[in-house]
Chains A and B, each alone.
Chain A
Amino acid sequence: MSEKKHNSHRPLSPHLSIYRLPLSALLSITHRITGFALFIGALLLAWWVVLNAYGCGDCINSFLRTIPVRTFLVLWTLALYYHMLNGIRHLYWDMAKGLSIKSVNLSGILVVIFSVVLTLASWLSVFYIF
């Protein structure tokens, strides 16, 4: 049996380098990647609070207003909203609901759209209202 397995040239599936990931798989790995990025961001946030509390916050706060850092903050917010909305989707699945292919695809598209909309709304509200 094991010999047969070695000699056969059956395709390995899914072969990640050439396989086009379906939307659900793409969103799934994005959930993990954003989760990792958010954890790094949460650590940085904690250290930002610590530095602000103990008197050396000013050196970082001016740095936070530069364009590259601001871009990272916007992307981090996008990751945060994406992870939150996709997390709600996961919690919904954990109740064994919304698991048909049609509703999985629909909720996936909704998560992407709403994370972009909420990110834009949050940052635009900062710049135009406050």
Chain B
Amino acid sequence: MDLRSPLGKVKGLGAAKNGAREWLSMRIAALALVPLTIWFVTIVIRASTGAETLISFLKSPFDATAMILFLGVALYHGCLGIKEIIEDYVHCHCAKTFLLIVLKFFTAITATLAVLAVIFVHINGGIAKKPANAVVTQEASDTTNEVWKNEFFNLFKENISE
């Protein structure tokens, strides 16, 4: 949707030269972020305190979807917001362009990596730290899940022998 007047479009008015679409995108992203933020605070605070680990809750399809949406929409909304701040306060054209390019590249890389990480944890359970006392057999060593099974089996054996 284009809300700009034809004259404003031709003259390139405003500090950013364009932006009606960004203005609207930012507000729609904000609307989406309201429920996502409520989900985020209720779930992720618990993960950060260790009551529930990040890896265990990302196995639920609902939470993995919400996490990807939250990270994606928050970084998108944030990127537009920081762009606005840079355009307001950085007056030197050269520095402004440089900062805007750095911002966009860094945000895009971070968002892509994070989405990849969530999908990886959702499907594979992430790369867990290899337990120090686990006896890893030849067949079991190839997947992380097997390593964990082994670890639990060893713990079980130790308890039995005691």
List residues of chain A with CB under 8 Å of any chain B CB. 32, 35-36, 38-39, 42-43, 45-50, 52-55, 57-58, 61, 64-65, 73, 77, 80-81, 84, 87-88, 90-91, 94, 118, 122-123, 126-127, 130
Contact = CB atoms under 8 A, between A and B. Distances in A.
B133 to A, nearest CB: 16
B27 interface: yes
Nearest to B79: A39
Contact of A36 (B48, B50, B82): B82
Nearest to A119: B41
Contact of A130 (B44, B46, B85): B46
Nearest to A44: B110
B27 A43 contact: no
Contacts of B128: 55
Interface stretch (B11-19, B116-124, B152-160): B116-124
A50 B113 contact: yes
SS class of chain B's interface: helix, strand, loop or mixed?
helix
Interface SS of A by simple majority: helix
A45 B110 CA distance: 10
A90 B85 CA distance: 17
Contacts of B129: 55, 58
A91 B120 contact: no
B45 A123 contact: yes
25 contacts: A35-B81, A39-B79, A39-B81, A46-B111, A47-B110, A47-B114, A49-B71, A49-B114, A49-B118, A50-B113, A52-B117, A53-B55, A53-B120, A53-B121, A53-B126, A53-B127, A54-B120, A55-B126, A57-B54, A64-B49, A65-B49, A77-B45, A80-B41, A130-B46, A130-B52
